[in-house]
Chain A
């Protein structure tokens, strides 16, 4: 079965694509930190951060629609978590509603927090979409490794990236096999039991696959030490990129702090 790429568009070429993954990782993390640490209600600062990310997106020469689509996938999760905040925050009531037995009220300050969270989340999401659309997954892993992330963690992520599609395929095949023998009858509870069996089978299969993968690693001299080639090259241009963005982020934060 064919799957979409997690790192779609990362094989294209642009100024942003060519920057060393370490540079991009550091800048992305700094950007998210700066956004998150900006005090509530600093809409001017949000605007400036947005300008920064918009300029980078323009430089990456990727379709804007891609960013919109990916954002729309992630935003609902944020909304799900943040949607309750206006109801629980204390303060001046903006409106109250009767829901059967309960009376719920929405406060102004609660709404304020909601908008702030949404804005911050979206800015962070945009920067992550930019990172993953301009850097191939294997390069992100290489970058993380050279930024001294523990090798075991990097390996776990690399296996996840490699096998997640195989697992999805396996689930789909099991679902097809079940559906071809399921005629719509049976109690709901029984069907839940089937799902439980499928999960169990999937676990055992993955476990056995793990053993086979390990055998093939051992057969090629794996002895528990993860060794990799250093293949990244941090050039002057990367340093300039990190410096410019670092300065931009710091000045936006300082500006916001002072005014």
Chain B
């Protein structure tokens, strides 16, 4: 299988000295749908910011076989589509069209190509006809879809989504799962919503305290209640019980 992203021995500490990643090794192959799960503060967001070179450190990260460096950042960013957690940060233009067109325009597409890319991206997330709407008049679910369209319009090789189901009600969440499942692109989904992970990803990677704690088939990992509990991802082994009074 072709390697899309290959990370070797990546360590990273924030400027204030706080270590965030510790010797991470991870390879994502073409066509995969990988869940990156872990408790708050495990380093998930830090890791995905390395995927497209927003953060860089000693580690050796290859995208499609090429080392990520200063010279190929533009190319890297067109290949790795990063969707941030809060759609209000991702959508910053006065209209939906401008936002979805932002990436393609920066990539230097021509007028017609941009229009075509926008139309295709909106169609993939089921939001045709929203071009002229203004983001602050959309619902959370709609904003999430448009946020995904803003990177799909660059036809990335890999789609990386941070917490797609946060702030969504169950219906909104399952609608979004349907959209994500239909996208024909390699995906990395960062989440601690195990329901969503089970529905969308064949492979799961657990990250805890900056280290890869487990990497395997989703069905095996989700079945291992002890492992999940150890990393704060499932019901603790001795949970408090509602209704029982002292």
Residues of A within 8 A of B (CB): 3, 5, 11, 136-138, 141, 158-159, 161-163, 165-166, 209, 212-213, 215-223, 227-230
> Would you list the 3 A-B pairs with minimal beta carbon distance, nearest first?
A221-B106, A138-B94, A220-B103
Contact B94 A158 (CB under 8 A): yes
In the complex, which residue of chain A has the Cβ closest to the Cβ of B114? A229
B166 within 8 A of A: no
Chain B residues, CB < 8 A from A217: 92, 102
Given A213-B92, A229-B105: A218 and B154 interface contact (C-beta under 8 Å): no
Chain A residues, CB < 8 A from B91: 162
B224 within 8 A of A: no
Chain A residues, CB < 8 A from B205: none
Contact B84 A215 (CB under 8 A): yes
Contact B101 A229 (CB under 8 A): yes
Contact B54 A137 (CB under 8 A): no
Complex: A227 Cα to B101 Cα, angstroms: 10
For residue A76, give the distance in angstroms from its CB to the closest CB of chain B.
Answer: 27
Given A166-B88, A229-B111: A223 and B94 interface contact (C-beta under 8 Å): no
8 A Cβ contacts from B61-97 to A: 74, 77-78, 80-82, 84, 86, 88-95
In the complex, which residue of chain A has the Cβ closest to the Cβ of B51? A219
Contact B89 A209 (CB under 8 A): yes
Neighbour of A221 across the interface among B74, B86, B88, B98, CB < 8 A:
B74
Complex: A230 Cα to B112 Cα, angstroms: 11
Chain B residues, CB < 8 A from A218: 54, 77
Chain B residues, CB < 8 A from A212: 84, 86, 89
In the complex, which residue of chain B has the Cβ closest to the Cβ of A209? B89
B136 within 8 A of A: yes
Contact B136 A141 (CB under 8 A): no
For residue A44, give the distance in angstroms from its CB to the closest CB of chain B.
Answer: 41
Complex: A230 Cα to B77 Cα, angstroms: 24
Complex: A11 Cα to B132 Cα, angstroms: 10
> In terms of DSSP, what is the predominant structure of the interface of chain A?
helix
Chain B residues, CB < 8 A from A137: 94, 134
Given A212-B86, A219-B52, A221-B107: A162 and B92 interface contact (C-beta under 8 Å): yes
> In terms of DSSP, what is the predominant structure of the interface of chain B?
helix
Contact A227 B105 (CB under 8 A): yes
Neighbour of A162 across the interface among B54, B107, B114, B136, CB < 8 A:
B136
Chain A residues, CB < 8 A from B107: 221
Complex: A165 Cα to B98 Cα, angstroms: 19
In the complex, which residue of chain B has the Cβ closest to the Cβ of A218? B54
Query: What are 12 of the A-B contact pairs (CB < 8 Å)?
Result: A5-B137, A138-B94, A162-B91, A162-B93, A162-B134, A218-B54, A220-B77, A220-B150, A221-B106, A227-B106, A228-B98, A229-B105
In the complex, which residue of chain B has the Cβ closest to the Cβ of A166? B88
Complex: A10 Cα to B219 Cα, angstroms: 52
For residue B105, give the distance in angstroms from its CB to the closest CB of chain A.
Answer: 5
Complex: A165 Cα to B150 Cα, angstroms: 21
Given A213-B89, A227-B105, A229-B111: A219 and B94 interface contact (C-beta under 8 Å): no
Q: Which of A137, A163, A217 has the most CB of B within 10 A?
A: A217
Complex: A84 Cα to B92 Cα, angstroms: 42
B151 within 8 A of A: yes
Q: Which of A158, A162, A166, A230 has the most CB of B within 10 A?
A: A162
Given A220-B77, A221-B74, A230-B111: A138 and B103 interface contact (C-beta under 8 Å): no
For residue B147, give the distance in angstroms from its CB to the closest CB of chain A.
Answer: 9
Contact A219 B98 (CB under 8 A): no
For residue B210, give the distance in angstroms from its CB to the closest CB of chain A.
Answer: 20
